[in-house]
Copies of this chain bind each other. A is one copy, B any other.
Amino acid sequence: MGKGEATRERILEIAESAVLAKGFGATSIDEVIAEAGLTKSGFFYHFKDKNALAHEMLRRYVATNDQLFDEIFARGHQLSDDPLQAFLISLKLLAETMSDLPNGHPGCLIASICYQERLFDREVRELTAQSVRDWNARFRKILDGIAAVYPPREPVDLDDVADMLSCIVDGAIIMSKTLNDPSRLERQILIFRSCVKLMFAPSPLP
């Protein structure tokens, strides 16, 4: 890894936490470069403008999240052959991972960008949309596997259930931040887990 790439990473790291803490518009390049210890010229050598910075931040964020999901759902599948059990275990792991974050979840970049959309170009917005679609598709696939074994009690659209997880996580992050209570995120994931259980787990036979 060249030195330039290391600097890029440092900038992205600093920028990400700043953006999640106070929004993209309120994050000044001056403050980022001050913390990174380089000059304005140095910054614009790596990123042609703020939009390019957003684009790279997003790529980084999505990649990290994808990797996390890969690990968590693979682990769930390791621990149980039953698709429902595997998913429930994974959700528990996800909840634990979230609650282990030292200062709570730093925030969702997608949501942050969502509320600033006019600031970004089509490319960035398309990237956010595609990542959300990918995550939904991933959850949907898991749910398909479950529904094949355990027919749902209520007539539910599996696409909507898949969407639900993303929605709950995003919403819970906002609530955690707004109320300054990191535990909400963990608890919301666990409540979603209960809902999945209720939807698919066979009723106890009398």
Contact = CB atoms under 8 A, between A and B. Distances in A.
Main secondary structure on A side of the interface with B = helix
Interface stretch (A2-10, A68-76, A106-114, A140-148): A106-114
7 contacts: A107-B115, A129-B179, A132-B175, A133-B179, A163-B191, A168-B171, A195-B199
Interface of A: 20-26, 107, 110-112, 114-119, 125, 128-129, 132-133, 153-154, 156-157, 160-161, 163-164, 166-172, 174-175, 177-180, 184, 187-188, 190-192, 194-195, 197-199, 203, 206
Nearest to A115: B112
Count the copies. Answer: 2
Given A21-B118, A133-B179, A164-B168, 16 more contacts: A22-B116, A23-B115, A23-B116, A114-B178, A115-B116, A125-B178, A132-B175, A157-B191, A163-B184, A167-B170, A169-B171, A170-B170, A170-B171, A195-B195, A195-B198, A203-B203
Nearest to A184: B163
